[in-house]
Structure formats: structure tokens, C-alpha cells
């Protein structure tokens, strides 16, 4: 199914008021999108400052719809299309849609599972350090830290390589690696979903 056939909502007007990262109605009215997608079996899974994710029980992918420009995510998508690694998500399609003179981007992304444990917070923290301190050697990154590098990073060279790729290509972006931006495939593979944030966005920075 093409995105043009799947997604034909009427976008409501932008709302004024304070911007908060988890209440989508404060920055873009998404009600009409939700209603149109619900008719096709799609329901909101998660929402943030830049985008909303929809899931369908009968599909093996999710829809990510950006309602605010997200240069950090665009940079990541371009990066992982040029450099392959099993710890990067599979994004099978991307389309820009203009409705009522407003531009939105829709992504088709493989469906993944959330990470829930306290050890996953520790893993995310370690990943952030490696990316932020690249090209610092791994032993120096964790120098003085009681637990050192997580076992999965030591045992899986491809995971470390993925983090090094992110570090080498971080450019002007803020590193936004936390547990919510690490997910998992059914086979246990950790997937890095959204590692960069646009650091010059003052409205978003004020919320951090």
C-alpha cells in the first residue's frame, strides 16, 4: 500500500499556548489525523514534541508523522540509508505531504518492542557517553565508572560500531539517547531509533 493511499487526513489548525513535549494538542491539533487513521485500524502509540507514532495490530510496521520540523531525525534517516548496521531501524518509506499549505513527513518504520528494565536505562546512558565522547577510546570513556561498559557493547562489535557511526556523524546535534530511544526486535537485537535532537530549537531546549 502506498502512503498516498493510506494517509489522506485533513490537518487541523495549529493551536496557541505553551508547548509541552507529551501533550500533542498543545502544538498541533491531531484529532482529524487520529480519526482518519482509526478508520483504517491505526491508533496512536506515542506522541512527542516533533512527531506522533501510530500502530496497527495487523501490520509489522508503524507510522511516524512529524508535525514539527525535526532536522535531527531527518539527519539520522539520511545517515542510516547510506550506512547499514543491524542496530539501525528499517525505514521502508518516507513521504512529504502538504495539506492546507502545511508540510508533514510520514515514515514507515519496522515495528519494535520497548525496553523496560533499569538495566536498559544504564545501557542508554552508556550509549550516550560513547556517542558524545567519540572518538575517545572505550576504556577512557568509562574511566572511573564503577560498572564500566555494558556487556552487550563489549560482546557485540556491530553495536559498538553503530554508536561510533553516530558519534562520527553527530555534527551540531544534541545526543538524545535514553531508554525510550532504544528498542528491540523480536530476536533481541537492540535498535537505536532516534539518537539526535536539534540543539538550536530554543522552545524544545527549554523543556529539557
pLDDT of the residue at 145: 80
Are the C-beta atoms of 123 and 159 separated by less than 8 Å?
no
Go through the domains of the chain in sequence order and give each one's CATH number: 3-112 (3.30.200.20), 114-205 (no CATH)
Per-residue pLDDT of the chain (208 residues; tens, 9 = 90+): 344 344 433 333 332 222 233 333 333 446 677 788 899 999 999 988 889 999 999 999 999 999 888 999 999 999 999 999 999 999 999 988 776 677 879 999 999 999 988 889 999 999 999 999 999 999 999 988 877 899 999 999 999 999 999 999 999 899 999 999 999 999 999 999 999 997 654 544 444 4
How far is the C-alpha of 175 from the C-alpha of 77, rounded, in Å?
15
95, β-bridge pairs: 106
pTM for this predicted structure: 0.81
| Residue 200, C-alpha cell as written in the block | 538550536
Give the neighbor-by-neighbor strand order of the sheet with 61-66: 43-47, 51-55, 61-66, 102-110, 91-99
Give me the pLDDT at residue 98, please: 72
Using CA atoms, how far apart are residues 74 and 104, in angstroms rounded to an integer?
12
Task: Classify residue 170 by its DSSP letter.
Answer: -
pLDDT of residue 34: 79
CA pair distance 208, 194, nearest whole angstrom: 16
Element containing residue 28 per DSSP (H, E)? none
Q: Which of 4-14 are b and which e, b meaning 16 or more Cβ less than 10 Å from the residue's Cβ? A: eebbebebbee
pLDDT of residue 200: 54
* Per-residue CA distances from 58 to 42, 62, 90, 146, 154 (Å): 9, 10, 18, 44, 36
- The CA distance from 73 to 55, in Å, is 19
Q: Which long-range contacts (CB under 8 A, 24 or more apart) does 146-153 make?
A: 147/122, 150/119, 150/122, 150/123, 150/126, 152/123, 152/190, 153/123, 153/126, 153/127
Amino acid at each position: 500500500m502506498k502512503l498516498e493511499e493510506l494517509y489522506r487526513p485533513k490537518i487541523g489548525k495549529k493551536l496557541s499556548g505553551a508547548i509541552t513535549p507529551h501533550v500533542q494538542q498543545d502544538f498541533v491539533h491531531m484529532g482529524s489525523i487520529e480519526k482518519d487513521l482509526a478508520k483504517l485500524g491505526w491508533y496512536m502509540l506515542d506522541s512527542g514534541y516533533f512527531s506522533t507514532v501510530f500502530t496497527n495490530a495487523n501490520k509489522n510496521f508503524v507510522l511516524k508523522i512529524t508535525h514539527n520540523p525535526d532536522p535531527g531525525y531527518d539527519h539520522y534517516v539520511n545517515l542510516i540509508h547510506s550506512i547499514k548496521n543491524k542496530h539501525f531501524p528499517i525505514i521502508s518509506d518516507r513521504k512529504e505531504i502538504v495539506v492546507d499549505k502545511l508540510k508533514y513527513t510520514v515514515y514507515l518504520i519496522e515495528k519494535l518492542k520497548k525496553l523496560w528494565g533499569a538495566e536498559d536505562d544504564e545501557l542508554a546512558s552508556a550509549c550516550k557517553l560513547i556517542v558524545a565522547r567519540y572518538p575517545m577510546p572505550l576504556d577512557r570513556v568509562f574511566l572511573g565508572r564503577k560498572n564500566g561498559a555494558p556487556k552487550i557493547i563489549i560482546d557485540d562489535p556491530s553495536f559498538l560500531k553503530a554508536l561510533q557511526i553516530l558519534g562520527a556523524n553527530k555534527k551540531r546535534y544534541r545526543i538524545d539517547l535514553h531508554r525510550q530511544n532504544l528498542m528491540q526486535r523480536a530476536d533481541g537485537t537492540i535498535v537505536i531509533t532516534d539518537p539526535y535532537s536539534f540543539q538550536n530549537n530554543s522552545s524544545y531546549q527549554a523543556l529539557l
